Structure 1
Amino acid sequence: MTHPPDDSVDELLSAARTAIGDELRSLTYFTEDEVTQLYLRSDLSRTADLVGFAENERQGFRSQSLYADTQLGDYQFTVRVFENGYLTRVIANDHGIWVTTDSMEMDRFEELASALASILRSFDPA
C-alpha cells in the first residue's frame, strides 16, 4: 500500500491541526492507484467510502494539466462545501491529500492547502 513516510504523516497531520485545529475530521492520502486514511477523528464513524471519494478526488490529477498555462495561474487546491462541513483537496506531483473539516471560516483553507502542499512536495510517493 502506498503511503507517505511515517515522518511525513506526522508532518501532514501536524500541519492540518495547526491550520484548522479541532475542526479537523479526517486526513486521507491518495495516488492514482491507492488511498490510505491517515487520521479519523474519534467521534466519527469509519463508514466513509474512501474508494468512492478517491475516484472523485483523482480527477484533480487531470485538473492540474487542464488548468495549466491559463490566465488564472497554476491550480492550487479545491474546496468542496457540504451541509456539515468541507472537503479540501491538495495535489502535488503524483500524490494528494484530502482533508475533511467541520464548518469553519473560508480563509483558513488557503493556510491549510499551502501547508499540506509544501509537505507533499517534499517527498516522493514511489
Structure 2
Amino acid sequence: MSHPPDERADELLSAARTATGDELRSLTYFTEADVEQLYLRSDLSRTADLVGFAENERQGFHAQSMYADTQLGDYRFTVRVFENGYLTRVIANDHGVWVTTDSMEMDRFEELASALAAILRSFDHA
C-alpha cells in the first residue's frame, strides 16, 4: 500500500484545515495504485465508495498532460459542486488528494489547492 508518511499526512490535513476550517468534511490521498482516507469529520458516515471516487479522480493524472501547453496555462485543480458540498481535487506529479467541504467562498478553494499542491510536490523530494 502506498500512502504518505504520517508526517506528510499530518501536513496535508493541517493545510486543509487551515484553508477550510470547520467546513472540512474529508481528506483522501490517492495515487494511480492506491487510495487512503486521511480524515473524515465525525458527523459523517463511512459509506463513501473510495475506490469508485479514486477511479474518477485519477483521471486528473491524465489532465496534467492533456492540458499542458494550452493557452489556459498549467492545470491547477478541479472543484466539483454537489447539492451538499464541494469536492476539490489537487494533483502534483504522481500524488493527489481530494477534499470534500461544506459550502465555502470560492477564493478559499484556490488557497486550499495551492497549499496542498505545494505539499504534494514536496513528496518527490523527500
The answer for the alignment partner of 1:22 in structure 2 is 22
Match of 1:48 in 2: 48
Q: Secondary structure at the match of 1:122?
A: helix
The Cα shift of 1:124 comes to 3.1
Residue number in structure 2 paired with 1:4: 4
SS of equivalent residue, structure 2 residue 99: strand
Separation in 2, partners of 1:50, 1:97: 12
Shift of 1:77: 0.2
Letter in 1 for 2:68: A
% same residue: 88
For structure 1, the 5+ residue unaligned runs are none
Residue in 2 that maps onto 1:31: 31
SS in 2 for 1:11: helix
TM-score of the superposed pair, with normalisation by structure 2: 0.97
Task: Look up the match of 2:88.
Answer: 88
Following superposition, which runs of at least 4 residues in structure 1 exceed 6 angstroms of deviation?
Answer: none
SS at match of 2:76: coil
Match of 2:109 in 1: 109
Alpha-carbon separation, structure 1, partners of 2:71 and 2:8: 33
Amino acid at match of 2:84: N
* Residue 107 of structure 1: how far off its partner (Å): 1.1
Per residue, is there more helix in 1 or in 2? 2
| Residue in structure 1 matched with residue 72 of structure 2 by the alignment | 72
The alignment of Structure 1 onto Structure 2 pairs a total of residues equal to 126
- Mapped partners of 2:87, 2:100: distance in 1: 4
State how far apart, in whole Å, the 1-side matches of 2:113 and 2:61 are. 16
- CA RMSD of the aligned region, Å? 1.3
Displacement, 1:5?
A: 1.1
The residue type paired with residue 68 of structure 1 is A
Using the size of structure 1 for normalisation, the TM-score is 0.97
Q: Deviations over 1:63-114 (max 9, x none)?
A: 0100000000000000000000000000000010000000111110000000
* Alignment-mate amino acid for residue 95 of structure 1: H
In the aligned structure 2, how far is the partner of 1:51 from the partner of 1:103? 24
